[in-house]
Structures are given as C-alpha cells and as structure tokens.
Amino acid sequence: MRVLLSDIAEARHGARIRAALPGVVLVPVAPEGPLPETAGIGLAFVTRDLFLGGTRFRLTARFQRFVDLVLAAPDIRRVQTFSAGTDMAPYQAMRAKGIEVVGASGASAPTVAQTAITGLLALARRLPRVMEAQRRHAWEPIYGEAEPPDLASQTALIIGTGPIGQEIARLAAAFGLRSVGIRREAAAPPPPHFAAVAPYAGLQQWLPRANWLILACPLSEITRNLIDAAALARLPDGTGLVNVSRGGVVEEGALLAALRSGRLGGAFVDVFTEEPLPPESPFWDLPNVIVSPHSAAAGDGLAERVAAIFCDNLRRWAAKA
C-alpha cells in the first residue's frame, strides 16, 4: 500500500505508520519543487500542518497544492483528514470523483469540549463584564442584579451527540448541568451523561427549556441555518449560546439581533460563516460576546490522536484489500 502525505507528516508520524503496517510505502509531498509520481498511490493522509495559516475559506498554497495532487492522482480511492468534519469544498470535490473521505472523529473531542465548557463558564461567571471593568480599572463586584445563577439548576441543550457532544456532556455533569442531546435518531438510549435525547424534529420543543444552547454538530443539509430567528425566539431570555461546530449552523444576522436586544445572555463563538472574521464585523465589539478564532480543537496532542486514528484505519483497509 502506498500513502501520499506531507513531508512534515512523514517525518513526524512515519515510524508509527510503518509500525502499524509493515511494508507500507510513504510518498511525502514537499511545499515546493517537483511533485511525486502518484500512479499506484491508493490513499492520502491530510494532516493539519498542510492547513496551518489558512482557513476553510482561504486555503494555504501548500494545502491547495496537496489537494490538487490528490484530485489528479489516478488511483487514490481513500483520503483520511485531520478534522472531524469533512464538509470543506476540497473534500466535496474529492467525493465527486468517487474518493471516500474519512474524518478523524474523536481526535479533537477532548480539546473542543474543554473549549466549549470554558466558554460556557466564562459567560456564566460574567467574565466579559469583569474584564471590561478591569480595562476601566473599575472595582465592580458581580453581586446583586448581575449575580450569576447556579449552574446546578440549569439545562444544557447540546446539538450533536457524537464524540464532541458526549465529552461536553461529561464535563458539564461535573458542574451539575443537566444535558439534553439533539441528534438524527432518538430511538437508541441516550449516551452516557445525557438525561435525554431527541431527534432534530424535536428541537423546537426543547429550546424553551434550555439555559444553554451548545452547538457541536456537523454542518449538513439538516443543520445548515438550523438556529435561525425562530429558533432563537423560542429560547428563554438570558440563554447562553456556545458554538464550536460550524458557522453555517447559525443564521448570524438573527444571532446578532438576539444579542443586541439582550434576549440572549451572551455567546461564545468559535466559528463564523466568514473566516477570518472581518475587522468590521459587529461581533467583535458586542459586550456579551466572546470571539474565538476557530481554535477550539487546538492542542499539542491533537496530531498524535489523528495519527493513531489513521493507523487504525490503515490496518483495517489493508485487511480488506
């Protein structure tokens, strides 16, 4: 089996991949210079080093060079990516060619879940207000009307119950939050740490019971613009929103209106419909919003977890060959 990958990935993970499948041939791609011959290569491994410095909407030249090579390769039938989601345009182009594109589901769950809970706690403990007072050198305790409610009495409505959603629910339970999940199918029992689950069709019934709306779902035809003005209007006043999924899951104009009106208690937003977020975007200056630059998955252990998933898949694919 021959595998196309970046030169950085070959240097970092080559020994691990060869140990997982003795006899595998790794074909590294450098950022410039002659391209390797791709005939006979059946598999490509897309690692985050190719993506660094770009966004899902503005790919780096290095990433695009690799994608173009994959699309031109005559024999590649599978691509393993570093991300959980595979909705980016290059991956759709690969699928259109009949290439199977596999994400690294679960690799980013620990860090994305930690980011989501960090955002929730920051909003719950009024940190935007505290930090704004710090900038003014003002001593303004958050007692009285600004006093935060106890999380132990609250419900977190988590859209997406995959590895990320499940890890969010596990961490939320440590703070006494009751987690309810929204997923494609509700027939199966709730995953661990979820009090209940419902299908997407049942979302509207659960929105009025949410103190926190946490988005941890993939972007699909079902979830695109799922959280629109009507959905936001069904949330109780003061609800907090955490988005670590994709920008397209939320209608941003409706979200801005809900935040400006004060109906929403605040939002932690890691993903946007346009990235980088333009300097003129009103999200930057809203006092009840924490803007995160699509970094929820960041962590120095991510690359190793992705490589472990790739090696497991590699062994399975080789066994089927």
Task: Dump pLDDT digits (tens) for 267-282.
Answer: 999 999 999 999 999 9
Active site residue 2: no
Question: Beta strand pairing status for 212-215 and 239-243?
Answer: parallel
Summarize the confidence of residues 32-61 as an average pLDDT.
95
2-107+300-320 and 109-291 agree in CATH topology? yes
For 71-90, what is the mean pLDDT?
96
Q: Which of 62, 183, 294, 305 is catalytic?
A: 294
Q: pLDDT category, 250, cuts 50, 70, 90?
A: very high
The CATH fold assigned to 2-107+300-320 is Rossmann fold (3.40.50)
pLDDT band at 188 (very low <50, low <70, confident <90, very high): confident
Q: Is 7 exposed, middle or buried (0-12, 13-18, 19+ CB in 10 A)?
A: middle
Q: Cα-Cα-Cα-Cα dihedral of 194, 200, 205, 210, to 10°? A: 50
Question: Is 275 annotated in the active site?
Answer: yes
Residue 294 is a catalytic residue = yes
Percentage of the chain lying above the pLDDT 90 cut: 96
- Number of Cα atoms under 13 Å in the Cβ half of residue 165: 24
Closest by CA to 104, choosing from 59, 164, 170, is: 164
Single out the catalytic residue among 62, 65, 246, 305: 246
Q: What percent of the chain has pLDDT over 70?
A: 100
Which architecture characterizes domain 109-291 according to CATH? 3-Layer(aba) Sandwich (3.40)
266 Rama sector, left if φ>0, alpha if ψ -120 to 50, beta otherwise: left
Does residue 293 register a pLDDT over 80?
yes
**Helix 109-124 × helix 127-135 angle, to 10°:** 70
Active-site hit among 18, 56, 275, 304:
275
Mean pLDDT over 198-208 rounds to: 97
- Per domain, the residue ranges of the chain are 2-107+300-320, 109-291
End-to-end CA distance of the chain: 9
Other Cβ atoms closer than 10 A to 149: 11
